[in-house]
A and B are shown apart, each in its own frame.
Chain A
Amino acid sequence: MEQKFRILLAKPGLDGHDRGIKVIAAALRDAGFEVIYTGLRQTPEQIVEAAIQEDVDAVGMSILSGAHMTLFPAVMKLLKEKGAEDILLFGGGIISEQDAKKLQEAGCGRIFGPGAPTQTVIEYLKDTLPGRRKRESIL
């Protein structure tokens, strides 16, 4: 069976602008991904707990409120604490190039600006995800 990638999409922070994340959710579904959408106003703790329970390959976060420099690092830190830093964290929203660069340097995946074509996001995930999760022996 072809490998299925599972993506958790979440909106942390207080803003309710979910147009972008819903468009991405639909586009990823149509590109063959299994998308778990957790809805609005998720705390970093909720997002990381869901990512672990759902054993996803990547977490995508959309932030338009300006709180990205607080929320992305918070999620990264929690993923690390839970030993799940092999889960890719990527995102989008109203995020300046400087901030995006800082986040990427800190270990975050790509940050997509407004109007990024859905195809770009799909290709990025298809390129980045294979072989990314660490392999552990099960038995």
Chain B
Amino acid sequence: MTVLDRFYKKDRSALSRIISFIENREDGYLELLSRIYNISSNSYKIGITGPPGSGKSTLVDKIAIRYLEKGFSVGIIAVDPTSPFTGGALLGDRIRMQDLASRGEVFIRSMATRGSGGGLSEATREVAIALESYGFDIILIETVGVGQVELDVAGLCDSTVVALVPESGDSVQTLKAGLMEIANIFVVNKADREGSGRLVSELRLMLESRGQKQKEGWILPVIKTEAINGVGIDTLTDKIIDHRKHVENLYTQSGYREKRVKSELITILDRKIRARVLKELLEDNSVDSYVKQIVNGESDPYSITEKLMRKITI
């Protein structure tokens, strides 16, 4: 019996192995993905993002418990950064998910970014496919939260929750470019702290002033939570469910699904093709000779790029 056979029989250790197979980019992983890809999967993917210290893991923990209580099965992907210097990583999100970890119905997988930016590991998308195919009703994806823009998560998830804390008040300014656009729901966590009221009104004001209070007919809610004490989690879960209805409604409109699939396809192509081309370039060591030419003043990066671009044919 292959691991995939066991996977279809809902063997968790097989799911684990398949995730590693994908994560390690072992030979045949694209074939594996094509086998398990399911366009009409019923899984619902929720992304949780936000700056460090905003309590993302605790939010995930509490949201997951609510879904479990409603009888859904839950899979979780928690992403932490890989050190660019050593290639190692410390994945500590499980500590925050103690309540969950001891429950049988939930599956938690920690992943390191392994060198890809954007807050999600490059393989996260594919790992999510494995969890979908395995049949989890709800998939929660927690991003790194290194304070940078984490646009990936929005492309991958159906609902994106952006978590902030009163202390990140001044970072509202820095949010405008990225997190603002990807959020479907804002959470002001640790709301018992000073400044939470101010943050809520600042957020609302900013959404108002930038005409982003609503997106595709969805009015962006700002919810106060104290995740550690379970406060506000019911409201948050209800909002996620509302947003799900909204998204499902969008899917019935013509062109919406196509738009999502197109974006997904382009993302995948972009990564694979780029990786492939760079690999070819680097393998024949020609890069070194180009570098030499540039250093010696015989050529420049743009002429070389143009020359190489012409070489690429499909």
Contact = CB atoms under 8 A, between A and B. Distances in A.
Contact between A and B in the complex (any CB pair below 8 Å): yes
Contact of A37 (B2, B17, B19, B92): B92
Interface in B14-28: 16-21, 24-26, 28
Interface size range of chain B in the complex? 35 or more
Contact of B35 (A38, A39, A52, A139): A139
B90 A29 contact: yes
Contacts, number: 99
B230 interface: no
A47 to B, nearest CB: 10
Interface residues of A, number: 35
A34 B17 CA distance: 16
Given A4-B24, A35-B90, A139 B109 contact: no
Contacts of A83: 13
A80 B2 CA distance: 20
B95 A49 contact: no
A95 interface: no
A113 interface: no
A28 B19 CA distance: 22
A112 to B, nearest CB: 19
A35 B19 contact: no
A27 to B, nearest CB: 9
Contacts of A1: 24-25
Contacts of A139: 2, 4, 28, 31-32, 35
Given A32-B86, A36-B94, A50-B94, A138 B2 contact: yes
Given A34-B88, A138-B4, A29 B12 contact: no
Interface of A: 1-4, 6, 25-26, 28-39, 43, 45-46, 49-50, 52-55, 82-84, 136-139
14 contacts: A1-B24, A29-B83, A30-B83, A34-B89, A34-B91, A35-B90, A38-B94, A53-B108, A55-B16, A55-B19, A137-B2, A137-B3, A138-B2, A139-B31
Top 7 nearest A-B pairs (CB, nearest first) are: A39-B95, A55-B16, A29-B88, A32-B87, A55-B20, A32-B88, A36-B91
